Amino acid sequence: MTFLDRQLGRFTMYRLVTLVLLALVVVAVVQSALGVLDSDIFPVDALLLTLAVMVATSVVVNYVVGRAIGARPHLESSIVTALILWFLYWPTTHGEQLAWLALVAALAQISKYLIAWRGRHLVNPAAAGVVLSVLIGWVTDWPIPFTGWWVASESLFWFVLVGALLVLYRTRRLALGAVFALVAIAVTVWWQLGVGAELTEALRFTLYSTPIVFFGGFMLSEPLTLPPRRTQMLGVAALAGIAFTWPLLTSRLFGDPWTTEPFTSTYELALVVTGLVAFALRQGSRTLVLREQRRLGDDVVEYVFDADRPLTFVPGQYVELDVPHARIDTRGRRRMFSVVSAPGREVVLATRHPEPGSSYKRALAASEPGDHFRVTAVHGDFVWPAKGPVLLVGAGIGVTPFLSQLAAHRGRDVVVVVGERAAQPYATELEASDAKVLRLPVEEVDGDTIARLVPDLDQRTALVSGRPDFVDEVSRGLRRRVRRLRRDHFLGY
């Protein structure tokens, strides 16, 4: 897992999704060429032409509309949306059909700016493009193409499953995907059994003929349309499973599916519903203006910003900071940061600047007072329990979420174990808190050592933060020794 974390941590979520989807495109084209996919339905020339039309339209429309309204278009996001749409519609070489598919791709990109609030889209763009195109066809009676979700095929299933698991693991949303899949699979199998299928046949149909895995791995997991807390995400995942299978569920319960023209399925509508629910649960974006940089020793730099409106979060949560810059590398223009400061207008973030740095880190380091940035999301459940003693374990820059927590929870029974590789950048702040601070060489921080130094370990909720390998190793040693365990992996550390 540590090796996998390090490899996947080299890519942003968008870059990983792009690469995985492109790999699936290659698999589909090769299967078509070899006859594994029916070459009469999926000819190679139709697959490639449809792909080219949808990608080109998405990129151009996203750029033109974004520039027209003064926004900064996100190129990779438009490519991801086009690739997802490609797997939903039957490939074609027919000019009129290609024109309609180009319209779907264009509507998907326009929706990011039209169905948005304070610079953040409310629903999954691919789903929005499908729904808007269906509504246009319904109102005008034009022959708009319907989705086929051909990605749900037996020959592609295992490739899609591996890709979805990689994406969900990288984003720490395996539980989200699991809850959605369990609900959707359970309802679909139940419906199959109700129409006379055997259990094996029902399972086979559910896995190979419905897009549950693709939907959960590549669409429901879209970060900008999810709520901030884990319990909220799991609730949204369950809601998505119900909405996804709504015609089957109502058909089994009442004899007739509760569907209304013009929609023949509720797959896309499920994402519209969950996106709106998630929007109601999260705060909008914030614009940050850099006030100053503070070098804290070695390669650690602290950034102090002023927000246009108070940033509200639960101490321990992280923010996603968008740093626009030219020549963006594989790490992208967004990165997650734990917040050092307390909720309010002053926002303090800290990060390491190792050499050679990513394009993101170089752009952040080159920023000057007065430069503008944007917080695009607040997420996370690395928060304290309402009551009871707490144990905090971190190493190096991994202690950053502890600072806002200690400031917000004065008077609690807290022990902080700090693993030090070099000079601890926040040693003074930690010592100034009313917590008991234990500073150890990082290689000595393990379950046995902590158990010896903290006798009442079984009464405490432990929060472990830092590099994935450090967090995983310490967590293994604490798992059966503490009352509750929460982890914060600094991906891409």
Cα 195 from Cα 248, distance rounded (Å):
11
Cα 214 from Cα 84, distance rounded (Å):
9
The per-residue pLDDT for range 382-403, each reduced to its tens digit, is 999 989 999 999 988 889 999 9
When pLDDT is averaged across residues 87-106 and rounded to a whole number, the result is 96
In this predicted structure, what is the pLDDT of residue 359? 85
In this predicted structure, what is the pLDDT of residue 35? 93
DSSP strand E in 353-430: where? 372-379, 390-395, 414-420
Angle between helices 44-68 and 13-34 (to 10 degrees): 160
Cα 362 from Cα 346, distance rounded (Å):
23
Contact yes or no for 218/21 (Cβ under 8 A): yes
DSSP letter string, 265-302? -SHHHHHHHHHHHHHHHS---EEEEEEEEEE-STTEEE
The per-residue pLDDT for range 435-453, each reduced to its tens digit, is 999 999 989 999 999 999 9
Confidence band (pLDDT; 50, 70, 90) for 493? very low
Q: Which residue carries 């590789």 as its tokens?
A: 421
| Residue 323 exposed, middle or buried by CB count within 10 Å (0-12, 13-18, 19+) | buried
In this predicted structure, what is the pLDDT of residue 410? 86
Q: Which residue carries 């059994």 as its tokens?
A: 193
Query: Is the CA virtual torsion 403, 409, 411, 413 positive or negative?
Result: negative
In this predicted structure, what is the pLDDT of residue 1? 63
Q: What is the dihedral of CA 244, 247, 250, 256, to 10 degrees?
A: 180
Contact yes or no for 450/391 (Cβ under 8 A): yes
Give the best-scoring range by mean pLDDT among 55-64, 163-172, 272-281: 55-64
Element spanning 120, H or E: strand 120-121
Rounded to 5°, angle at Cα 174 from 79 and 153: 60
Asked if residue 100 has pLDDT above 90, the reply is: yes
When pLDDT is averaged across residues 312-326 and rounded to a whole number, the result is 88
pLDDT greater at residue 119 or residue 133: 133
Cα 70 from Cα 72, distance rounded (Å):
7
Considering the chain, what is the average pLDDT of its residues?
89
Q: Which residues contact 125 (CB under 8 A, 6 or more apart)?
A: 77, 81, 108, 109, 111, 112
When pLDDT is averaged across residues 114-136 and rounded to a whole number, the result is 85
**Percent of the chain scored above 90 by pLDDT?**
59
Contact yes or no for 165/157 (Cβ under 8 A): no
Contact yes or no for 296/290 (Cβ under 8 A): no
